[in-house]
Amino acid sequence: MAEAMRAFVTGATGQDGSYLAELLAERGDEVWGLYRGQEETRLSGLSNGPVKWVRGDVTDSASLFDAVATIRPHFVFNLAAASYVGLSWQMPKLYMETNCGGTLSVLEAVRRFAPNAHLIQASTSEMYGQNGGNELAPMNPVSPYGVSKLAAHHLCRIYRETYDLRVSCAISFNHESPRRPPIFVSRKVTQSAARIRAGLQDSLTLGNLDVWRDWGYAKDYMEAYILMAEAQKPDDYVVATGVSHSLSELVQIAFRAAGIESEQVMSKLGDRPTDVYSLCGDPRKIEKRLGWRAKTSFEEIIRMMVEHDLSELMVSANA
């Protein structure tokens, strides 16, 4: 019988990490998740199967070294990040320390204690600044978050080329699910639609409704990450649907799914000094080389999220 593969996931308590841990556990892999000391209450609520937990933080290199030296993983997925773009102007140093410094800690831990592991780095479409594209498109980020992730992205390339490490970057465009935190606009919309339907909220105020994003399903994207980890040759891949939708369209779908009128949405100027107005990815490389393609449509994702938020309100009302 073949040896079970060991996978180490940073950011395992988040949206992406929980889906990834579930998928890995379903394959029979031995899954280890990194968590910080104050998160014990969240661990019991995760439905990701037999995950083994190790305490640490990507900004604390000693804890990363201990974790990787103990686990000796075959796969490392670095999903830990400060990821809400809007807050990165208020806390730019934190974003640089977490996203760039944290990635450096992971790279060093792998180089020293698991040099044969395949490391998958969660990069982001925010590195492009505007428009997006393929793996070779120019990158000119317009937020501290985008800068921090681009610095980490370049570190991964340097470690791959300098130390011959197996490091691959998943340049992931927006991906959503019912597990998306409410601070992100997609979940803010679906929760508000559910609350308006339940009579708990009168209206929804958003920023510019004419922003366009390439929105996919988080679980689909984690399947892409696993395919990248299994690939013999490390490489960078855009993970996207190849189709963009406006925030206005997202709102309309969410409100229809909740059975209410979208006229209850108001728009105001956002609080970001600069913003990205249009992003769309070109996933042809990963489709051709690894056979991955996004399976879940934009409308299915939004309807799934609204149904989840409506059901949560019903549970709360009956509690």
- Residue intervals of the chain classified under CATH 3.90.25.10 are 178-214+243-278+296-318
Total residue count of the chain as it appears in this document: 319
126 is catalytic: yes
**pLDDT per residue as tens digits for the range 49-85:** 578 999 999 999 999 999 999 999 999 999 999 999 9
**pLDDT per residue as tens digits for the range 120-133:** 999 999 999 988 99
**Within a 10 A sphere around the Cβ of 309, how many other Cβ atoms?**
25
299 is catalytic: no
Residue 149 to residue 95: CA distance in whole angstroms = 9
pLDDT tens by residue, the chain, 319 residues: 356 799 999 999 999 999 999 999 999 999 999 998 765 545 544 544 578 999 999 999 999 999 999 999 999 999 999 999 999 999 999 999 999 999 999 999 999 999 999 999 999 999 999 889 999 999 999 999 999 999 999 999 999 999 999 999 999 999 999 999 999 999 999 999 999 999 999 888 888 889 999 999 999 999 999 999 999 999 999 999 999 999 999 999 999 999 997 666 666 555 555 677 899 999 999 999 999 999 999 999 999 999 999 999 987 777 6
Q: Pick the catalytic residue: 30, 126, 176, 223?
A: 126
145 is catalytic: yes
Whole-structure pTM value: 0.93
The DSSP string of 93-162 is HHHIIIIIIHHHHHHHHHHHH-TTSEEEEEEEGGGT-SEEESTTS-----SHHHHHHHHHHHHHHHHHHH
CATH class of 178-214+243-278+296-318: alpha beta
Q: Pick the catalytic residue: 145, 159, 217, 225?
A: 145
Q: Tell me which fold the domain 6-175+217-239 belongs to.
A: Rossmann fold (3.40.50)
Distances from the Cα of 200 to the Cα of 186, 226, 268, angstroms: 19, 40, 22
